[in-house]
Chains A and B, each alone.
Chain A
């Protein structure tokens, strides 16, 4: 099968550290965290130990018409907004968008949890309303592929739909599977990404597993602390990210803005425990991505580590990076700025990596004051480095033993 080059011609993100490239870069340069006190949901927050959250606390002006809004939970508002902006940035014309040559790969951790709660309320609360029932749109708001199909509906996209829902690798799979779809000619472009809305269920899950940060509830900006000796767990967050992947010749012929190129992707499974990090699985993922990209480890300038700040996850990841790269590439854990945005983290970290390629600097891992000696074998970014990035690796790992890694290359004009 002939392999085609795949470039990125549009992107957009909603993150706890801002919406625009300028805002996100400013937070990275100035070391400003987007982690805030977890807001009360009146349901689960009172029962949890963790009181911090990667929070989107700024208004977003949506201009979606009613016929689109009616099937959207909060997660789809996020998804459709970044999808809209990525499409606009790409400059693709409406004829192409609806031609069947563009597909969508988009997902979330579990649809819209707030819409799901509305359904459960119908069953489990005593309503004075005699005819309480599941609303006609409740399932469409809540279903696992709600983000992907609300995007197709809004823009009249008629190509393939891929909707991964693999927790922390949701959007990295979206990008990876979208990349392969374009690379091997099944589509000429794919709109890829992920989103997750404010949701305390996810916090409760990790909290119950003793994986959440709990020691910094009074000082949210000091957590998470990837690779730091004082790290005490992850911080759940919300957000969304979308990238427009396009076949290179198509992009070039229409004079599209090319933000970067994807040159390799890998995805595997640990083949065992569903929770514990696995060094063999992670190491193999990274090696497969380098192999797919046909590059040597020494060619990678920057690694965007998954780095959730859990006790063992960071150690295993550092060991895997160290075993393949040594102390060559600079490693940053971008979740240190915004927490773990779950289904959107891979897309957001890809977009930030593109920004860093354009800007020519590497931000430090926030809150990395003292590197855990078990994580010390790699080259941590402990201060802002004025350093160009030509090739970046973005790695993500999920519950269920799913691992992904994709390789981004700065576009050099040809």
Chain B
């Protein structure tokens, strides 16, 4: 899944689930939109659906310091990469789950 596609998906989720329309990529979401820890937990659920995967407790806790859209996209890219590597055992070129 390309970065632009991830970002578009996140922007859509913010609009539909959190009524936050077209947030800037580097806005601090808490300061700009009152996006709090409850919202973050809801977002993690949406990310699980997006990637069709279940996040571990450690992965969820790591997300709690995220503050911007760009950081969310980084986080999702890393999750997709980790799952792809685990699936291919590193022996083949890695594709994200969304491209398969």
A contacts, CB < 8 Å to B = 66-67, 70-71, 129-131, 133, 135-137, 140
CA distance A129 to B49 in the complex (A): 8
B contacts, CB < 8 Å to A = 18-19, 34, 36, 38-39, 41-42, 45, 48-49, 52, 54
CA distance A70 to B41 in the complex (A): 13
CA distance A66 to B35 in the complex (A): 10
CA distance A135 to B19 in the complex (A): 17
Jot down 8 A-B pairs with beta carbons below 8 A, ordered by A.
A66-B18, A66-B34, A129-B49, A130-B52, A130-B54, A131-B49, A136-B42, A137-B38
Please classify the interface of chain B as helix (H, G, I), strand (E, B), loop, or mixed, using the class held by over half of its residues: helix
With known contacts A66-B18, A66-B19, A131–B45 Cβ distance under 8 A: yes
CA distance A130 to B36 in the complex (A): 25
> Is B48 within 8 A of A131, CB to CB?
yes
Considering only CB atoms, which chain B residue lies closest to A71 in the complex?
Answer: B38
Q: How far is the CB of A73 from chain B (nearest CB, A)?
A: 14
With known contacts A66-B19, A67-B36, A135–B54 Cβ distance under 8 A: no
Q: Give the contacting residue for B41; candidates A71, A129, A136; CB below 8 A.
A: A136
Considering only CB atoms, which chain A residue lies closest to B34 in the complex?
Answer: A67
Instruction: For A67, list chain B residues within 8 Å (CB).
Output: 34, 36
CA distance A130 to B54 in the complex (A): 9
Q: How far is the CB of A13 from chain B (nearest CB, A)?
A: 29
CA distance A137 to B41 in the complex (A): 9
Q: How far is the CB of A153 from chain B (nearest CB, A)?
A: 11
CA distance A70 to B19 in the complex (A): 11
> Is B38 within 8 A of A136, CB to CB?
yes
State the 8 A-B residue pairs at the shortest beta-carbon distance, nearest first.
A136-B41, A67-B34, A131-B48, A136-B38, A66-B19, A136-B42, A137-B38, A131-B49
> Is A137 within 8 A of B42, CB to CB?
yes
Q: Give the contacting residue for B45; candidates A66, A71, A135, A140; CB below 8 A.
A: A135
Considering only CB atoms, which chain A residue lies closest to B49 in the complex?
Answer: A131
Q: Give the contacting residue for A133; candidates B38, B39, B45; CB below 8 A.
A: B45
CA distance A70 to B34 in the complex (A): 12
Instruction: For B42, list chain A residues within 8 Å (CB).
Output: 135-137
Q: Give the contacting residue for B38; candidates A129, A131, A140; CB below 8 A.
A: A140
Q: How far is the CB of A381 from chain B (nearest CB, A)?
A: 49
> Is B38 within 8 A of A70, CB to CB?
yes
Considering only CB atoms, which chain B residue lies closest to A136 in the complex?
Answer: B41
